[in-house]
Amino acid sequence: MTECYQVVSRTATPAELFITERLWNRVGELGQTYRRNQPIPHLHLPEFLEAADAAVIAGDFPSPEAPFWTRYKHYNENKVGLTKIHLFPPRLRQLTEKLNSSDFLKWLSELTGIQGLVADPHVEGGGLHLSGRGGFLNLHADFSTHYYHQSWRRRVNLILYLNPGWNPEWGGAIEFWDRETRTRCAKYTPLLNHAVIFNTDNNALHGFPDPLQCPDNVWRKSVAFYYYTIEGHLRPEPHATSYQARPGDGLSKRALIWLDNAAVNLYSRSKARFGFSDNFASNVLGVLSRKK
């Protein structure tokens, strides 16, 4: 029996809606598309927020010069991120609250068919992301359990893009590949107010592996939310983010991807055990970068 979910009133303003009534009304149809898409269940939504909200939020995105960004810069990725919600501009904080709310979780569970989804109030590993010219994120399967809640199994990602005027020739499209990394099955340009929602498991290979070719003053902006189910001792063996080479990658690149994977795995285990944040690694990378 399908649950009945409350539909947002038509009299609500865009600032109150965030998620449009159209998406609530189409959840059954969208859910069928979600489960049918390959290589993993996923959905591309070209108009995720109300247009007015998306434009305002994109304009409120913090400057890349702000001092609080965490650096994610190693062989398999080059970007910066921010998970400290108290540093988000007001509209991005409001968006985070909406996408972590019980109402949205009901919609997301109906869409994906995964019941019992919970949101991460600290958006660990997600939050705001910026990538400039030369930025990239190699193909990978995401870490499987929350670093600080080992009974939380990661199940669904939502990534919202906030890039007005983005030229597809600059790259930056999220790519979904088959598990054997033989074929790119889907690709979506990170345009303003476009979102992708997808299952996360060992088969969910995704990324934007080619370095961005945007102008120096343009940045690829996105907001990422990760959703979990609480599974206690029945969860599968946890694993860190696992990066993968593409078919055209040579032996040296494959070796470097493997070595970086080993380092990421060691770091992830240490992070889960000792509870330190990504700021520690970011500071080390910043020092090394300056020395270089």
pLDDT digits (tens, 9 = 90+) for 186-235: 999 999 999 999 999 878 899 999 999 999 999 999 999 999 998 876 55
Q: How many residues does the chain have?
A: 292
* Side-chain half-sphere exposure of 131, counting CA atoms within 13 A: 31
3-state secondary structure 188-236: ECCCCCCEEEEECCCCCEEEECCCCCCCCCCCEEEEEEEEEEECHHHCC
Q: pLDDT digits over 72-131, tens only?
A: 888 999 999 999 999 999 999 999 999 999 989 999 999 999 999 999 988 988 999 999
Domain boundaries along the sequence of the chain: 14-291
Give the position of tokens 């990658």: 249
The CATH fold assigned to 14-291 is: Jelly Rolls (2.60.120)
Handedness of CA 162, 167, 171, 177 (dihedral sign): positive
Cα separation, 166 vs 28, in Å, equals 31
